[in-house]
Structure 1
């Protein structure tokens, strides 16, 4: 099989499980957080996560009866709200990933730096989610 075939086959494997991480960090730490997340992505991809994405909350307004996440996690105007999404084939893939990275200590300094960059005294909220419904936009 050629690399092209392997690549297109891999692209068709569904990501049925995600791990999300939600946290806040002072705006002044933006560039350092970007660098930590870039290095984290390299680490996760090295250990075969399907994908690693990072987002920053754009709008802080409530909509109708929905409360904006910035309020739920008590983010001040001097803070950014960050969301990481790690994608995996399924829950078994998460176990394989965890086993793969178990002996790799290269993430320890990065973890310490991350913990120093987030808002002091804040928590990182996280959870693993299994896809319940496959929604297709193909007609």
Structure 2
């Protein structure tokens, strides 16, 4: 189906079909989801905006802990998709996550994507 056929079928050949298309609920929902993820990645978390809690007549300030694992996962996926060498540092190196990930990858469809799975080196994608 080409674009003109889609316009005729969905919008009855309207001249302002694009305005109708972008105002459809599923497009608005998709854009809102992207904006929420962008806010989350920039560090604007809902927990940080949380106010005081009242318990038995006393006000309490709740602790606000933010874990930024999402950035690590996004960077990992981006590096892998761009075929850059993937290296894990810090806590990930100490936890021997490479060995665990290698064990999980062997036998799956993605196992052939790795050139080097030795324990002393980082994952390298083709």
Query: Which TM-score tier does this pair reach, normalised by the shorter chain?
Result: under 0.3
TM-score normalised by structure 2 residue count: 0.23
Structure ranking higher in helix proportion: 2
TM-score normalised by structure 1 residue count: 0.22
Structure ranking higher in strand proportion: 1
Higher relative contact order, structure no. (Cα contacts within 8 Å, ≥ 6 residues apart): 1
